[in-house]
Amino acid sequence: MTPCALTVDSLNPKVLALADHLGDNAIARRAQCIQNEIEAEPESHPFREVLALCDYPHLLEQSGTNSLFSSGAIARAREILDLFPGRATGGYSHSQGTEGLRDIIAAGIAARDNFPCNADDIFLTDGAAPPVHMMMHLLIRDKKDGILCPVPSHSLYTSAMLLQGATLVPYFLDESRGWGVSMSDLKKQLDSARSMGVFVRGLVVINPGNPTGHVLVEENQREIVDFCRNEDLVLLADEVYQENIYADEKGFHSFKKIARSMGYGEGDISLVSFHSVSNGYYGECGRRGGYMEVTGFNSDVKKQVYKVVSLSSCSNISGQILMSLVMNPPQVGDESYASYQAERDGVLSSFARCAEAMVRSFNGLEGVTCSEAEGAVFVFPSVRLPKKAVAAAEASNTQPDAFYALRLLETTGIVVVPGSVFGQMHGTWHFRCTVLPHEEKKTMTVIISSFVAFHRAFMEEFRD
Query: Which residues in 142-201 contact a copy of itself (CB under 8 A)?
Result: 156, 159-160, 163-164, 201
Shortest distance in whole angstroms from residue 120 CB to a copy of itself: 15
What distance in Å separates the CA atoms of residue 25 and residue 374, rounded to the nearest whole number?
A: 24
What ranges make up the beta strands (E) of 112-198?
122-125, 145-151, 167-174, 180-181
Q: Compute the Cα dihedral for 428, 431, 437, 441 and give only its sign.
A: negative
Strands 382-383 and 378-379: unpaired
The span of 52-60, 107-115, 327-335, 338-346 binding a copy of itself (CB under 8 A) equals: 52-60
**Residue number with CB closer to a copy of itself (44 or 331):** 44
Which residue in the set 76, 102, 133, 455 belongs to the binding site for a copy of itself (CB under 8 A)? 133
Task: State phi, psi for 277 to the nearest 5 degrees.
Answer: -90, 5
Which residue in the set 72, 150, 202, 208 belongs to the binding site for a copy of itself (CB under 8 A)? 202
Shortest distance in whole angstroms from residue 462 CB to a copy of itself: 33
Of residues 13 through 32, those in contact with a copy of itself by CB under 8 A are: 13-16, 18-19, 22, 29, 32
Residue 86 contacts a copy of itself per CB under 8 A:
yes
The span of 62-70, 334-342, 409-417, 454-462 binding a copy of itself (CB under 8 A) equals: 62-70
- Please state, in angstroms and as integers, the Cα–Cα distance from residue 390 to each residue in 23, 81, 184, 463, following that order: 21, 59, 32, 11
What distance in Å separates the CA atoms of residue 427 and residue 383, rounded to the nearest whole number?
A: 11
The span of 84-92, 240-248, 354-362, 418-426 binding a copy of itself (CB under 8 A) equals: 84-92
**Residue number with CB closer to a copy of itself (154 or 407):** 154
Taking the C-alpha atoms of 121, 124, 127 and 128 in order, what is their torsion angle to the nearest 10 degrees?
-10
**Residue number with CB closer to a copy of itself (172 or 255):** 255
Shortest distance in whole angstroms from residue 361 CB to a copy of itself: 26
User: Which of 260, 282, 262 lies closest to 347, judged by CA?
Assistant: 282
Buried residues in 366-392 as b, exposed as e (16+ CB within 10 A): eebebbbbbbbbbbbbbbebbeebbeb
Of residues 295 through 334, those in contact with a copy of itself by CB under 8 A are: 296-298, 300-301, 304, 307-308, 310-319
User: Which of 204, 190, 68, 224 lies closest to 131, judged by CA?
Assistant: 204
Beta-carbon contacts of residue 219 (< 8 Å; ≥ 6 apart): none
- The site that binds a copy of itself (CB under 8 A) totals a number of residues, namely 106
Sketch the per residue contact string, 210 through 249, with a copy of itself: x for CB under 8 A, - otherwise.
Answer: ------------------x---xxx---------------
**Residue number with CB closer to a copy of itself (92 or 460):** 92
The span of 105-113, 182-190, 293-301, 386-394 binding a copy of itself (CB under 8 A) equals: 293-301
- Please state, in angstroms and as integers, the Cα–Cα distance from residue 357 to each residue in 23, 183, 281, following that order: 31, 32, 19
Residue 64 contacts a copy of itself per CB under 8 A:
yes
Which residue in the set 71, 82, 91, 366 belongs to the binding site for a copy of itself (CB under 8 A)? 91
**Residue number with CB closer to a copy of itself (98 or 420):** 98
Residue 372 contacts a copy of itself per CB under 8 A:
no
Count other Cβ atoms within 10 Å, centred on residue 150: 25
Of residues 398 through 427, those in contact with a copy of itself by CB under 8 A are: none
- Please state, in angstroms and as integers, the Cα–Cα distance from residue 312 to each residue in 92, 136, 317, 461, following that order: 10, 16, 13, 53
Shortest distance in whole angstroms from residue 446 CB to a copy of itself: 18
Residue 70 contacts a copy of itself per CB under 8 A:
no
The span of 44-52, 386-394, 407-415, 440-448 binding a copy of itself (CB under 8 A) equals: 44-52
What distance in Å separates the CA atoms of residue 112 and residue 39, rounded to the nearest whole number?
A: 25
Shortest distance in whole angstroms from residue 87 CB to a copy of itself: 7
In the sheet with 431-434, reading across from the earlier edge strand, the strands are 378-379, 431-434, 417-418
Shortest distance in whole angstroms from residue 246 CB to a copy of itself: 21
DSSP secondary structure string for all residues of 64-109: THHHHS-HHHHHHHHHHHTTSGGG-TTS---TT--HHHHHHHHHHH
Beta-carbon contacts of residue 49 (< 8 Å; ≥ 6 apart): 69, 70, 73, 77
Of residues 248 through 277, those in contact with a copy of itself by CB under 8 A are: 265-270
